Structure 1
C-alpha cells in the first residue's frame, strides 16, 4: 500500500499509510532511518558497510519527500558528496514498523490565550474561578484586576486558601530596590533573567500556589513564562522512558543558602506519590553538586538535560507579559515559572497560598 502522508517531528518521522492491512501509521526515529539506509550497503553483497557508531546521533534530514507514485519516501540526509538520497519503500516501512499506531503523549501546551481572562468579563467570583482554573490548567493570567494585592488575597482566600509566610515574609516585593522583605539576596530581586524553576523546593512541603501581581511593568523585558511540568513529564516518558525513570527515582540535593537562611532537602525531581498528588521540585540555582556513582553520572546528566531542553523549548511554554494590575497565579507543584531579564523599575508582588 502507498504512503498517504508524513509528518516530520524533532526526533522522529511519522508515516501515514493508505488504507489496507497493517498499521495506519508508524513512527521512526531519524537515527534508525539513517542507520537503515540502503546507501550504506555493499553494491554486490547488500551487506551493511557502516556501523551505527560511525553516524552522528543528532543527524537530521535536509529534505523528506514522497516519490511520485507515493510508494516510497526519499530522505536527503545532507551528508553525502554524491547527492544521493535514501529511499524507503512503503511496504518495507510497514514490515519494519517498530512503533506501529503509536499514540504519543502530547507536548506541554503553549497557547497563552487558553489561560488568560479579563477580570471585567468574569461571571462568577474571581477566587472561585481561579481555583477551578488552577485545577484544570495549573495556571491563570487575569488582566485588569487592579493593584490592590490585599483585595486579591481576600478574593482567593475566600475559596479555602490561606497565605503562607516564608523566609521572605508574607508578601514579597520583587523589585531591585527592595527594602521591605527579609532575605533579599536572591535572583528574584535583581533584573537578571530567572529561568524555569519551582519555588521553595528545599522545603518538605513547598507552598502549593503562588500569586505574582504586577504593580509596575518593566520598561523593556520582564516577560513571564510558565510550563506544565506534569504534561512535560508524561511527554518525556513517552519519548525517553529511561530518562523519565531516572528523574523520578534519583534523589538530588536542593540547598538554599543565604546570609540569614539555609535549608537542605533531598528528593527526586519528579514525585508522583507525594501527598496531594504530583509534585515537581526543579530549581537549577538551588541544586547542590550531583553525587552519583561514577558509572551513572553521565546517564543522569543526559536524563536531566533531556527534560531541561524539553521545558526550555518555547514551543512548550505559555509566554506573556504582565501589565499594571494583571496577575498570574499558578500551581507550584505542577508548573515551572520564569521571567526574562529587564530594564527599569519593575515591581511584582509575590504571595504564596496553600489549603487552609
Structure 2
C-alpha cells in the first residue's frame, strides 16, 4: 500500500500499488482517442511496485515503477477514483423526488413539455431528461395523434428499443399478443418486461384514439421509489425479504418463451438506494425458488408491498388524451389502467435502460 497526503488540502489516501500502476493514464497505457486501455492485465508483473514517488507540483504525482515505467497522475483523478468519493457522488449527484398523488399534482407543471419546443431546443430536451431522472415520468404535449408523430417525438430524445413487439407498437383490444394489454380488461399497477433479462428502462404510451361512445380506460401511475421507501420504513422485514428472494417471471406465446428470475426490489450495493422495482403479478411464473416452509413469509411480505401500491393516495390517475405522450421510468414507476369500452388505440415504445442513462450521463445529469 502506498500512503499519499495532499500538501494543499491535507487529504490522505492509501492505494494498492497494482491498482495505481493499472490506472496509469499515459498514452502508452491508455488510448486517449477511445478511452480504452492498451494492454492486457497479465502484461503487468504481479509484484509491480512503486520504487520512487515524488510531487512534481501540488497537483501532480510522479511514480517510477519496478517494471521500468514512469507514470504521472493528477491528484484529483486519484482522489476522485476512491470508493468513498464514488458513494458520495452517487448519493448527491441525482436529486430524486419520491412522489405520491398529491406531490405529483403539485409538480405536474415541471413534467410537461411541448413537442415544438423540444424540436426547436436542445435545452428543452435536457430539461425533459432531467425531469425524467428526478420524477420518473414526463409528458410531451402537442403531438399529432399518429404513430409516426409519436415516433418522431420519442426519437427526438432517445433511440428506441427493439423487442418481439417491434420498435414502435400500436395496440387495441385485438389479441395480437398474449398480453392483457391487448384486451379491454382492467390492468393493475405493474412494471413491464419482468420476464426479460434486461427490462426496458423507459416506456412511452400515446392514446391515438378513443371513440366518442367509449368509456373508462383511465391510466394510473405509482412511484415505486416512494412505495419502496414506505415499505422500508413501515415493514422492514418485508423490505429485506423482497430484496433477497428471487421471483420467476415468464412470457409465452407462439414462437416466444422469455424467462427471468430476480428479486422484486433491486438495491444499489454501494448506496443502498433503489435501482429497480420489478413488479408484475400477471407475469409471474411457477414460484419454485423458495422452500415451502418460507412461503408464508414471502406472501405476507408481498401482500404488504401490494397494499402500499394500491393505496389510493399513491395512485396518480389521469385520462391519456390524443396529443399527449407519456414517458415513464419502467424501473421505477408502475402503471395500470381501468377497463374500458369502445374503440381505443394506443401507440407506444420502449427505450433501453443503458440508452436512457447514457443520454442523462452525457448531459451531466447523473454520475
What interval of TM-score do these two structures reach, taking the shorter chain for normalisation? 0.5 to 0.7
1:185-209 deviation line (CA, Å, top 9, x unaligned)? 2111110111111111111111111
Residue 350 of structure 2 aligns with which residue?
352
With over 3 angstroms needed to count, the CA separation of the structure-2 counterparts of 1:168 and 1:304, relative to structure 1, is same
Match of 1:171 among 165, 168, 171: 168
CA distance in structure 1 between the partners assigned to 2:153 and 2:116 by the alignment: 16
Residue 332 of structure 1 aligns with which residue?
330
Q: What RMSD over aligned residues (CA atoms) do the two structures have, in Å?
A: 2.6
Q: Which has the higher helix share?
A: 2
Residue 110, structure 1, aligned to residue 87, structure 2: no
Residue 341 of structure 1 aligns with which residue?
339
**1:301: Cα distance to partner?**
0.4
Match of 1:193 among 186, 193, 201: 186
With over 3 angstroms needed to count, the CA separation of the structure-2 counterparts of 1:317 and 1:128, relative to structure 1, is same
Alignment of 1:1-356 (within 5 A): 108-111=99-102, 112-113=104-105, 114-115=107-108, 116-117=111-112, 119=114, 127-159=125-157, 161-177=158-174, 184-217=177-210, 219-273=214-268, 278-291=275-288, 292-354=290-352, 355=355
With over 3 angstroms needed to count, the CA separation of the structure-2 counterparts of 1:213 and 1:165, relative to structure 1, is same
TM-score by length of 1: 0.63
Count of residues paired in the alignment = 246
334-343 or 257-266, which moves further after superposition? 257-266
1:245-297 deviation line (CA, Å, top 9, x unaligned)? 01100001011112221111110000013899711111111102323223211
In structure 2, runs of 5+ residues without a counterpart are 1-96, 359-367
In structure 1, runs of 5+ residues without a counterpart are 1-105
SS class of match (1:164) = coil
Q: Is the 8 A contact 2:178 2:252 kept in 1?
A: no
**1:225: Cα distance to partner?**
0.8
SS class of match (1:301) = helix
CA distance in structure 1 between the partners assigned to 2:292 and 2:226 by the alignment: 31
SS class of match (1:227) = strand
**1:121: Cα distance to partner?**
9.6
Give 4+ residue runs of structure 1 displaced > 6 Å after superposition.
274-277
With over 3 angstroms needed to count, the CA separation of the structure-2 counterparts of 1:231 and 1:311, relative to structure 1, is same
CA distance in structure 1 between the partners assigned to 2:315 and 2:338 by the alignment: 13
1:65-105 deviation line (CA, Å, top 9, x unaligned)? xxxxxxxxxxxxxxxxxxxxxxxxxxxxxxxxxxxxxxxxx
CA distance in structure 1 between the partners assigned to 2:173 and 2:153 by the alignment: 28
TM-score by length of 2: 0.62
1:329-356 deviation line (CA, Å, top 9, x unaligned)? 1000111110110001111101111316
SS class of match (2:160) = strand
1:32-73 deviation line (CA, Å, top 9, x unaligned)? xxxxxxxxxxxxxxxxxxxxxxxxxxxxxxxxxxxxxxxxxx
Q: Is the 8 A contact 1:108 1:317 kept in 2?
A: no
Q: Is the 8 A contact 2:265 2:274 kept in 1?
A: no
